[in-house]
Amino acid sequence: MTRFLLRRCAQAIVVLILVSVIVFCLLHMLPGGPARAILGVHATPTNVAAFNKANGLDGSLPAQYWHWLTGVLSGNLGFSYVQNESVSALLGQRLPKTAFLAGISVVLAVLIAVPIGFFQAVRRQRVGDYVLTTITLVLYSTPAFWVAIILIDVLAVRLHVVPAEAPQGSFSALLSDPQALVLPVLTITLVTVAAFSRYIRSSVLDELAQDYVRMARSKGAGSRVILFGHVLRNSAGPVVTLLGLSLPFIVSGTLITEYVFNYPGVGLLAFNAATSQDYPVMLGVVIVVAAATVIGSLLADVTHAVLDPRVRSAAGIR
Amino acid sequence: MSLENVTTLGAAEAGLPADIQQPPGRLWLSAFARNRLAVIGLVVIVALLLFSFVGPLFYHTDQIHTRLAMETLSPGKGRPLGTDDVGYDELGRLMVGGQTTLEVAFGAAVVAVVLGVLWGAVAGYVGGIVDGFMMRIVDALLAIPALLLLLFLATVFRPSVPMLIIVVGVTAWLVPARLIRAEALSLRSREYVLAAKTMGVRGPTIIFRHIITNSIGTILVNATFQIADAILVVAALSFLGLGIAPPATNWGAMLSDGLNYTYSGFWWLTYPPGVAIVLTVLAFNVVGDGLRDAFGLDSRHG
């Protein structure tokens, strides 16, 4: 177990370093260099030189990278001249809101998708499976923003059950208006359930094909014991891995949802930064989200290894 | 709940390696043909391709010049699907939009699969530190959410059809890379590969003639899913305003433009492109599933 842990952690560190290199390259991919991108087209060479000196951008590329990296690690993610605030402050305001939204949606999605996937696998090729598979396939094929707008149209406009826009302001303001959270959460949950249930269905099908199921059956164990005592437990591992792998997908879904519902989270922040060419903010978001994804999948893999000892061997997953 | 169907699960679930249970030659075609849903999906795809590319030859509309006097007219005589907000005929627009959507989707899928297969095959075959490093790069790129990367790239580079193909493909090659690397890892210890190595066949030749050729099932399946995903990605980008400039259009842009008029009741601006998207993505997913079953591949990784 320790060898597995060490190996995974070492891999994660390498990946994090690579992420930082990639983001650094993106920063310097901007036409005219980061200084010109931030200061704008009308910046004079003197301004650019002064900016470079002040921000440590006048050395060699490796030196710049080191300067930038140490800054990031100490919490300095840059400054947004568009919003006149430091990137870390902006992220600090928005990250809890997005984490809250995404967190609730993912938990709900897992709670819905696991039973659905299970049901589909056990009743495979029967009516129940076909109906559910069709529904989830159609949901999966529908663009997320259309799902969001259909939900708004039906629930907010026609039936007046919930408001159409998300609450603005601080985190406590958010929590004080739970009705306004229903549609954003519902959107992300539906989209995620569609993606998850396919995976869970195949995962449970794989479990059902394992020898131990046949063995237990031949020993006279009833369906309920086999399903809930063995198969459900053994499917927990792949679900955890799925969660770790889906983080980027969930982030994309959250971005679109935040845009549609004007939810003041990190996704909307990134989008506004992109359209106003606020590169420090965009790249700050990328770094933070990427780091969270790497750490998230590390945690997911470790949890999977705890749940399923076969994963710990050098050969990897069965 | 009964478990009798457990015993009828096939070779794939029994854990045999993919290339052994892959039916030789054209057998996968007949396996695919027996899957009614997949065949329907294929028919839908061909129909939409014909609609988009051959349709304009029969149904002439002006898709370049706007006619603001004719804006947002409901379906009627001479205009089966009405007109959009600048006067273009909606049915004609659907055809033109379909051309761009399908072009970008196919192009992006090709870019993603070619890049991914090469990267994964080399990493899996060579193994060792090189493999580790190449796969860490894939992990790092996977950790960056594609939409954020796309937002960034779309603001730096002016969106056009070739640029969109490259940008979408560049964010999508990571999944095929992982898949083909897994295939290469299992294939490189096969007898025929070892025999080839003993005979002195060089690495690149082995990769192309043995590893990649025997992964063709995984590659094809992944390519179909790539096309489906690319359509959704382009739709999302167009919705966020980062698509191609008019008069060019694609179904995603048509849908997101039409959504501005949801409350005016102009259903012909949203449902035609929306249904077209859902139908196409559904069809490609169904075909992909059918191919995966026909090749007998593990459904969690295809």
Nearest to A274 among B155, B236, B259 (CB): B155
Region B18-26: mean pLDDT is 57
Distance from CA of A143 to the nearest CA of B (A): 6
Identify whether A35 is part of a domain: no
Task: Report chain A residues whose CB lies below 8 A from the CB of B267.
Answer: none
Partners of residue B126 on adjacent β-strands: none
Distance between CA atoms of B276 and B48, rounded to whole angstroms? 8
**CB B148 to CB A149 under 8 A?**
no
Flag whether pLDDT at B45 surpasses 60.
yes
pLDDT at B24 over 70: no
Of B9, B148, B236, Cβ closest to residue A143:
B236
Asked whether residue A31 is domain-assigned, the answer is no
Q: Taking a C-beta distance cutoff of 8 angstroms, is the pair A140, A147 a contact?
A: no
Best probe of the A interface among B44, B144, B189, B232, by most A CBs < 10 A, is B144
**What string of pLDDT tens digits covers the 318 residues of chain A?**
788 888 888 888 989 888 888 888 887 777 666 777 667 667 777 777 777 777 666 677 788 788 788 888 887 777 777 777 888 888 888 888 888 889 999 999 999 998 888 888 888 778 888 888 889 999 999 999 999 888 888 887 777 777 777 777 777 777 777 788 888 899 999 999 988 888 888 888 878 888 888 888 888 877 777 777 778 778 888 888 888 888 888 888 899 999 888 888 888 888 888 888 788 888 888 888 888 889 888 888 888 888 877 777 654 443
What letter would DSSP give residue B210? Answer: I
Of A213, A238, A259, the CB nearest to B240: A259
Residue A233: CATH number of its domain: 1.10.3720.10
Structure tokens at B192: 């025929």
* CB–CB contacts below 8 A, A to B: 158
Q: What is the pLDDT of residue A314?
A: 55
pLDDT at position B301, please?
A: 52
Burial class from Cβ neighbours inside 10 Å (0-12, 13-18, 19+) for residue B256 reads buried
Residue A307 lies in a domain: yes
- pLDDT band at B1, cuts 50/70/90? very low
- Which one of A17, A19, A258 would you mutate to disrupt binding with B, by most B Cβ within 10 Å of its Cβ? A19
Can you name the residues that pair with A80 across neighbouring β-strands? A85
Residue A271 within any structural domain of the chain: yes
Side-chain-side CA neighbours of B142 within 13 Å: the count stands at: 23
Closest residue to B300, CB basis, from A124, A206, A223: A206
* Interface contact flag, A15 B14, Cβ < 8 Å: no
Note whether residue A8 is domain-resident: no
Considering the domain boundaries, does residue A184 fall inside one? yes
Render pLDDT for B188-237 as a digit per residue (tens, 0 to 9): 888 888 888 888 888 888 888 888 888 888 899 999 999 999 999 989 88
Element (H, E) at A84: none
Q: Could A256 and B239 be called an inter-chain contact, meaning their C-beta atoms sit closer than 8 Å?
A: yes
CA distances from A111 to A102, A257, A300, B81 (A): 14, 20, 17, 42
Cβ distance B148 to A125 less than 8 Å, yes or no, reads no
Give the mean pLDDT of B51-80. Answer: 77
**Best of B2, B131, B148 to mutate (most A CBs within 10 Å, chain A):** B148
Q: Is the pLDDT of residue B8 over 80?
A: no
- Are B274 and A19 inside 8 Å of each other by CB? no
Question: Look-up: residue for tokens 């075909």?
Answer: B287
Contacts 24+ apart (CB under 8 A), B132-137: B132/A11, B134/B181, B135/B178, B135/B181, B136/A11, B136/A14, B136/A15, B136/A18, B137/A18
Span B105-138, pLDDT tens digits: 999 999 999 999 999 999 988 888 999 999 999 9
CA neighbours closer than 13 Å in the CB half-sphere of residue B154: 29
Of B13, B263, B278, nearest to A205 by CB-CB distance is B13
CA distance A206 to chain B (A): 6
The pLDDT score that the predictor gives to residue B19 is 54
**Which residues of chain B have a CB within 8 Å of the CB of A148?**
none
Whether the predicted model's global pTM rises above the 0.95 cut: no
Which of B1, B140, B285 shows the shortest C-beta gap to A223? B1
Chain B residues touching residue A282 (CB < 8 angstroms): 148, 151-152
Alpha helices in A209-265 (DSSP H): 211-218, 223-224, 232-261
Q: Is residue A207 part of a domain?
A: yes
SS3 content of chain B, % helix, strand, coil (to 5): 75, 0, 25
Kindly determine whether residue B6 and residue A297, on different chains, have CB atoms separated by under 8 Å: no
User: Does the ipTM exceed 0.90?
Assistant: no
The count of structural domains within chain A is 1
Helix axes B128-143, A279-307, angle to 10 degrees: 120
Binned at pLDDT 50, 70 and 90, residue B17 comes out as: low
Tokens representing A282 are: 């965009």
pLDDT in tens, B157-184: 777 888 888 888 988 999 899 889 988 8
**Chain B neighbors of A244, CB-CB under 8 A:** none
- Inter-chain residue contact B6 with A145, CB threshold 8 Å: no
- Residue B217 has a pLDDT of 86
pLDDT at A232: 79
**Residue from the list B2, B136, B155 with its beta carbon closest to the beta carbon of A11:** B136
The boundaries of the domain holding residue A109 are: 89-315
Residues of chain B above pLDDT 70, percent: 90
CB B262 to CB A153 under 8 A? yes
What number is the average pLDDT over the span B276-292? 92
> Hey, is A285 helix, strand or coil?
helix
Query: What are the chain A neighbours of B152 within 8 Å (beta carbons)?
Result: 26, 274, 282-283, 286
**Domain for residue A73, yes or no?**
no
Q: In Å, what is the CA distance from B102 to each residue of A140, B49, B88, B210?
A: 19, 8, 20, 31
pLDDT, greater one: B8 or B53: B53
